[in-house]
Every structure is written in structure tokens, then in C-alpha cells.
Amino acid sequence: MALIKNVEIYFAKLNPKRPNPKFNKENPTWEVQIRTTDKEKKKEWETLNLAVKAVVPDEGVPYYRVNLRKKSIKEDGDNSSPVSVVDGKLNPIDPDSIGNGSIGNIRVFQYEYTNAGNKGIASVLMGMQLTKHIVYTPQARDDDFEETETETVSSGQSEYSEDF
């Protein structure tokens, strides 16, 4: 296992009961994006065979990012254990409370793979230790619904039904 220390954390989707189905509905994943602006850290990540991408935003400082995932279902069909999330004293943390910009250490499991003649090293997200926990607090949206009256029509005929 590899330990990646002192990284910025973004877009953590680590709720044990709700892995993200966006990329694969049959095998949703727990995932996180790690970032740095440090070129030395970028080199360290590359020596760990992580897929580092350079990002140059329209506004702000350029940075390097790596997306890490863990599938919720193993190759043999068994459920995977969720990604553990702890604080500096190893106490569990609610993964839904992790806000963007939090700082922490990431543990990944790495293994060699061969797929259709291609060889490489895969990295699986295993755990996260937060050293600076920015608490995510959901905010109401400007375009959210507000409370209003609802008209209920019985399941019989309504003014819009047609006789066939």
C-alpha cells in the first residue's frame, strides 16, 4: 500500500451507503480528487504511477489533480468494504461532512494489471485521514422549490382523460 501525504481533497463521494453510480450504474464507486500546486508532490505522485493531470483554470492558480476510486463490488461479485475516513486521532468522520479544500493523507492499494495487451499499475482508494477538516454544510439553492398548495385529483376520470 502507498500513503500519499498532505493533499488537498475535493469532490469526496465516500458515503458507505451511497457510492457514486455516475460512471458505472452496475458497480458504483467511492471516489475523491486530490490536488496540489507543488511540482515536487506531482513528481512523487508520478513515481507512484498515479494518473496526474495538469489543470489551468480560467481564474486562479494552476494545479495538478488525481482522481482515485474504489469499486463497490469486487471482481468475484462480493461487496467491497467502504473507504475508511478518520481524523488525526483515528476517530471515524462522517464522509458526507468533507468539504472541498480539506487536507489529509490518502491510502491506496496498488497492483499490476494486464488488460487487452496493455500493462499498468492500478491504484485503489482505501482510506483517508483528515488533518484539516473543512466541514461541508449544504446550502439552500436560489432556485429551490418553496412550499405551496397541491391539488389532488382522484384516480378516476379527470378533465384530461379520454374515453377509448
Please give the tally of structural domains in the chain. Answer: 1
Asked, for residue 142, whether it belongs to a domain, the answer is: no
At residue 157, the pLDDT reads 57
Question: What is the residue range of 121's domain?
Answer: 2-132
Enter the pTM of the model. 0.79
Question: Residue 20 forms beta bridges with which residues?
Answer: 29
Asked, for residue 127, whether it belongs to a domain, the answer is: yes
54-76 burial: b if 16+ Cβ within 10 Å, else e: eeeeeeeeebbbbbbbbbbeeee
| Of residues 39, 26, 34, 27, the one with CA closest to residue 2 | 34
Asked, for residue 160, whether it belongs to a domain, the answer is: no
The string of pLDDT tens digits covering residues 9-25 is 999 999 999 988 888 88
The tens-digit pLDDT sequence of the chain (164 residues) is: 889 999 999 999 999 999 888 888 889 999 999 999 999 999 999 999 999 999 999 998 999 999 999 999 888 888 999 999 999 999 999 999 999 999 999 999 999 888 888 888 989 999 999 999 999 987 777 777 778 888 888 876 555 555 54
At residue 37, the pLDDT reads 95
Spatial contact of 113 and 119, defined as CB atoms under 8 Å apart:
yes
Asked, for residue 63, whether it belongs to a domain, the answer is: yes
Asked, for residue 6, whether it belongs to a domain, the answer is: yes
CATH of the domain at 85: 2.40.50.140
Spatial contact of 130 and 86, defined as CB atoms under 8 Å apart:
yes
Asked, for residue 164, whether it belongs to a domain, the answer is: no
Asked, for residue 62, whether it belongs to a domain, the answer is: yes
Dist. CA 129–CA 88, nearest whole Å: 6
At residue 163, the pLDDT reads 54
Spatial contact of 108 and 2, defined as CB atoms under 8 Å apart:
yes
